[in-house]
Amino acid sequence: MARFEGTETYVATDDLRVAVNAAIALERPLLVKGEPGTGKTILAHEIAKALGKEIITWHIKSTTKAQQGLYEYDAVTRLRDSQLGDPKVGDIRNYIVRGKLWHAFTADTAPVLLIDEIDKADIEFPNDLLLELDRMEFYVYETRETVVAKQRPVVIITSNNEKELPDAFLRRCFFHYIRFPDRETMTRILAVHYPGLHKALVHEALNIFYDVRDVPGLKKKPSTSELLDWIKLLMVEDIAPETLRQRDPAKLIPPLHGALLKNEQDVHLFERLAFLHRRERGGA
């Protein structure tokens, strides 16, 4: 049986690894929650890569209906075809548009199916998918056939906690909450993404990064993905670790902060802090 052990580009913590393997072994969906930017969506892609499977992603929006994941009956095209006298019109099968779940069920080798941000959808959405995800089959009314999964796909579901998911749905899933990585894990993540990165730079950058995250009142705390972008910028700009180490109060705002702080209130907050800091210094 295939097991997931993390990949070259993705650091999987022990608990994540166990949860993923449990979901694969028991062919149950895995529900992943966590702070934005901790790699929920990436996880599904990495699992697919590690297991050598195809990935099918289904991005959920507020208007997405469960039915769209199964199939849709394109009545408008059929109506037009009938008026144009197209011979296709006799067979309703020509107007059944397959959804992501159908694709996942009928793929030759079991793919990884990512249902992204399930909490964006209507509150009834997960309930509507209960049976389909549990039994991995559904019925097409128009053609009176049942679509059954050839192999059960690996289903990864992500949620940002905007809505509560129904209990019946949760009972059928494994669950994993991705915590914000601690320093050790973060160092490993950086090593995976930028091999050969200067140790001193990593050290200083992480110091600043975790300091920034600790500033009270930040609207949007920088996350892993922002850190990765920032480090990349630091490398491109060829900023030396010494520059980062300078704790010059006048330069309290970290260099290239645009990658870390994503809204102007947060930048203002930092400027204000820097100003206060300077004044304290001046007074003392």
Partner 1 sequence: MFIGFLLELREAKLPVSLKEFLTLMEAMRRNVAGYSVDDFYYLARAALVKDERNLDKFDRVFGHYFKGLETPGEARLEIPAEWLKALGEKLLTEEEKKLIEAMGGWEKLMETLKQRLAEQQGRHEGGKKWIGTAGTSPYGAYGYNPEGVRIGQDKNRNNRAVKVWDKREFRNLDDRVELGTRNIKLALRRLRQFAREGAELELDLDDTIRATARNAGWLDLKLVPERHNAVKVLLLLDIGGSMDGHIRTCAELFSAARGEFKHLEYFYFHNCPYEGLWPDAMRRHVERVPTPEILRTYDQSYKLIFVGDASMSPYEIEQPGGSVEHWNDESGEIWMRRLLATYPKAVWLNPVPERYWSGTLSIAMISELMEGRMFPLTLDGLDRAMRRLTR
End-to-end CA distance of the chain: 66
**136 interacts with partner 1 by CB under 8 A:** no
Residues numbered 169 to 198 that lie near partner 1 (CB under 8 A) are 170-177, 179
Element (DSSP H or E) covering residue 57: strand 55-59
Only one of the segments 69-77, 205-213, 236-244, 269-277 lies at the binding site for partner 1 (rule: CB under 8 A); that segment is 69-77
Q: Please, which residue, 78 or 198, has the CB nearer to partner 1?
A: 78
Q: Per-residue contact track with partner 1, 79 to 98, x per CB under 8 A?
A: x-------------------
Q: Please, which residue, 18 or 253, has the CB nearer to partner 1?
A: 18
- Binding test (CB under 8 A) with partner 1, winner from 19, 55, 96, 201: 19
Nearest partner of 259 among 195, 204, 208, judged by Cα: 208
Q: Please, which residue, 171 or 284, has the CB nearer to partner 1?
A: 171
Q: Got the DSSP string for 11-25? A: ---HHHHHHHHHHHH
Q: Per-residue contact track with partner 1, 27 to 66, x per CB under 8 A?
A: -x-xx-x---------------------------------
Only one of the segments 48-56, 160-168, 236-244, 265-273 lies at the binding site for partner 1 (rule: CB under 8 A); that segment is 160-168
Q: Give CA separation, 205 vs 29, 49, 85, 122, 173, in Å.
A: 37, 30, 67, 41, 38
**5 interacts with partner 1 by CB under 8 A:** no
Report the C-alpha gap between 177 and 163 in whole angstroms: 16
Report the C-alpha gap between 38 and 42 in whole angstroms: 9
Return the C-alpha torsion angle 224, 228, 11, 161, nearest 10: 30
Report the C-alpha gap between 107 and 93 in whole angstroms: 19
**167 interacts with partner 1 by CB under 8 A:** yes
Q: What angle do CA 104, 105, 108 make, to 5 degrees?
A: 85
Only one of the segments 13-21, 42-50, 104-112, 125-133 lies at the binding site for partner 1 (rule: CB under 8 A); that segment is 13-21
Residues that bind partner 1 (CB under 8 A): 14-15, 17-19, 21-23, 25-26, 28, 30-31, 33, 73, 75-76, 79, 162-164, 167, 170-177, 179
